Amino acid sequence: MAAMGISRFAFLRFDLTEDQRFSLNESTLSLIDQVEDPMLITLYLDGDFPSGFQRLREETRRMLDEFRARNGNIQYVFINPSENPDPQARRDTYQQLKNAGLNAVQIEVEEADGVRQQQVFPGAIATYREREWSLSLLLEQFATAPEAQINASIQNLEYTLASALKGLTSTHRPTLAILEGHGELNAIETASWEMSAAKAYDVERFNLREFPLDTLLGQPDLSLQVRRLNSYDLIVLAKPRASFSDLDRWLIDQYLMNNGRAIVMLDAVYAEMDSLSYAPEFLAYPILDALGLGDQLFSYGARVTTTLLQDMVCAGVNDRRSVRPWVYFPLFLPQTEHPIARNLNAVRMEFATTLDTVRAPGVKKTPLLMSSPYARRQATPGSVSLATLYAEPNPADFREKNLTTALLLEGPLPSFYAHRISPKTDVAAPKSAASDAKLLVISDGDFMKNQRNVVRADLPRGAPLPLGFDQFTGQQFGNADFLLNALEYMLDGTSLIAVRGRDVTLRLLDSPRANKNRALWQWGNALGPILLTFLAGFTYRRLRRRHFTKPSHAL
């Protein structure tokens, strides 16, 4: 009775597993405690699934039980979207889930009369205070075994669920600026990424070359422009095609010197797929010097080269007869333990160049995307020909490896103008170095460019498609997740991104061995508990009889 009384006031849980798989991160616990009103998480992962999806479902249930044990406001329910026998009703349900942002996965279900195809939506929708948040529970990884994908998805469960809590409970929304004024990607070309980022961030467009006017003097107000730019938590520069003036570079430099965060995606070489519409080959030539950003990035610790990357591990091009791999479309299968790229689907680039690191005291440099061991560099100016699409690459020519295309710079970035004359002297004294800036450089200007529909009849022609989806091959790549992870890492104030680094080891059954001794395991599991119960009862009775039949000794 005393133990029952204590349990009403004290709730204890002990995690004795080697990898602490039942222990939540402190950042996750803090987010759970912030749920002050009822939150319902509806998971569409119920039904008759293969063993992998069953494990994902049970691990999700176990994780949500941990959430609910910490905060009773968090409730969840599992739903089978395929249980309705009416085909039209099922299709309507599937379409509603797709419209809500959940992706379907086709699986095969074995039945007595054969194999049946079924759509599965391994995702959930969380609702809180009239807000909704869709989340995918399955991490799709290109050229990865299903068991490995399930394992990675389970490792990522805490981060996925905690991110939803953060998005729904957060009162502060960081503000992002997509820079304009130099021919960057336009709104329709980045619509997919902007829509994804808008779930957790306020996304605006900022023209670096449009200055506010001083109301008294009627002249451009540089000080106000600096304050406007510095008001953003992060800036994005996506594929500039016009030259940056000295003042433009100074504004970006001083933004970083104020411990700003920036993502820069640029083409150092002119090479456009559209050029092949007019001729079977074109000349790829350097444009980095014309942009005027190479020296500035060099001063921060990143050297952008003008050599095109070719990689035998690459995405394909659909020539209307078949999908053929093309070495100019390299694929990156992230192997790094960094949380931005950990457990990520393959990332695709087009006509990327390579990056090198240079000395910048105190700056931490982390390569995030690197080529396979079967890569090489092509000097420019140089010809890019469709003939390479149909010629089998010679492995002897592809012997370079770990060529970097995405580089993260962190820490005390030195100012590009530390030993130069500033373009303007009528503003506050410029800073010569940052203390904690973050800069991500990606050597492909089209990295965040979404395709526009020309294939699907159920969508308007020209409508933006999900970032990373190639409508011509039907493959989905991880570009969007990479950029969203980068935002989380660079702007995270709760250290939640560290949860992505967690390892959970699944102790999977040895299927061949289990099947070989199937009968033994079945009878053992059925009879073992009964025999143990009888053995415990028999031992108890013997000990009790021995205790009460001891001869008494007279005093």
pLDDT tens digits for range 100-120: 888 887 776 666 666 667 778
- Over residues 160-178, the pLDDT tens digits come to 898 889 889 888 889 999 9
Residues with Cβ within 8 Å of residue 361, at least 6 apart in sequence = 412, 414
- Over residues 213-222, the pLDDT tens digits come to 877 777 788 8
More confident residue, 419 or 361: 361
Dihedral of the alpha carbons of 85, 88, 90, 94, in degrees to the nearest 10: 170
Residue 357 has pLDDT above 90, yes or no: yes
Taking residue 376's Cβ as centre, other Cβ atoms within 10 Å add up to 19
- The pLDDT, as a whole number, for residue 494 is 54
Q: Give the type of residue at 92.
A: D
- The pLDDT, as a whole number, for residue 244 is 96
- The pLDDT, as a whole number, for residue 367 is 96
More confident residue, 500 or 79: 79
Question: Whole-angstrom Cα distance, residue 305 to residue 313?
Answer: 21
- Over residues 276-290, the pLDDT tens digits come to 888 889 999 999 999
- The pLDDT, as a whole number, for residue 195 is 92
More confident residue, 129 or 5: 129
Residue 235 has pLDDT above 60, yes or no: yes
Taking residue 421's Cβ as centre, other Cβ atoms within 10 Å add up to 8
% residues pLDDT > 70 (the chain): 87
- The pLDDT, as a whole number, for residue 306 is 96
Residue 11 has pLDDT above 80, yes or no: no
- The pLDDT, as a whole number, for residue 506 is 46
Give residue 337's pLDDT band: very low, low, confident or very high (50, 70, 90).
Answer: confident
The mean pLDDT of the chain is 85
Strands 234-238 and 175-180: parallel
Mean pLDDT of 456-485: 90
Q: State phi, psi for 37 to the nearest 5 degrees.
A: -125, 165
Give the chain's domains with CATH numbers.
Answer: 15-166 (3.40.30), 172-500 (no CATH)
Query: Which pTM does this prediction carry?
Result: 0.81
Distance of CA 279 to the CA centre of its chain: 37
- The pLDDT, as a whole number, for residue 542 is 81
Residue 441 has pLDDT above 70, yes or no: yes
- The pLDDT, as a whole number, for residue 109 is 65
Mean pLDDT of 348-377: 95
More confident residue, 154 or 65: 65
- The pLDDT, as a whole number, for residue 415 is 93
% residues pLDDT > 90 (the chain): 48
Mean pLDDT of 324-351: 89
Question: Whole-angstrom Cα distance, residue 146 to residue 169?
Answer: 33
More confident residue, 25 or 207: 207
- The pLDDT, as a whole number, for residue 544 is 79
- The pLDDT, as a whole number, for residue 413 is 95
H/E stretch holding 385 reads strand 382-385
